[in-house]
Amino acid sequence: MPRIALGLSYDGSAWQGWQTQPHGQTVQDSLHAALAQFTGAPMQVMCAGRTDTGVHAAMQVVHLDTALDRRMESWVRGLNRYLPDSIGIQWAQPVDDSFHARFSATARAYTYLLWNERAPVPLWQGRAGWCFQPLEVDAMRDAATALLGEQDFSSFRSSQCQAAHPVRVMHRLDITRHGSLIVFQLRANAFLHHMVRNIVGQLLQIGQGRQPVSFMGELLALRDRRRAAPTFAPDGLYLTAVEYPEHFGLPSTDGSRFLPWAV
Query: 26, 16 in Cβ contact below 8 A?
Result: yes
Q: Pairing state of beta strands 129-130 and 107-115?
A: parallel
State how far the alpha carbon of 81 is from the alpha carbons of 31, 96, 186, in Å.
11, 26, 33
- Alpha helices by DSSP H, listed for the chain, are 27-39, 72-82, 137-144, 195-207, 215-222
Torsion angles phi and psi, residue 82, rounded to 5: -100, -10
The single-letter DSSP state of residue 254 is B
The single-letter DSSP state of residue 170 is E
112 is in an annotated binding site: no
Task: Name the catalytic one among 29, 52, 97, 152.
Answer: 52
The candidate with the shortest Cα–Cα distance to 172, out of 182, 181, 183, 164, is 183
Q: Is 52 a catalytic residue?
A: yes
**H/E segment holding residue 174:** strand 167-178
> How many residues are present in the chain?
263
Known catalytic residues? 52
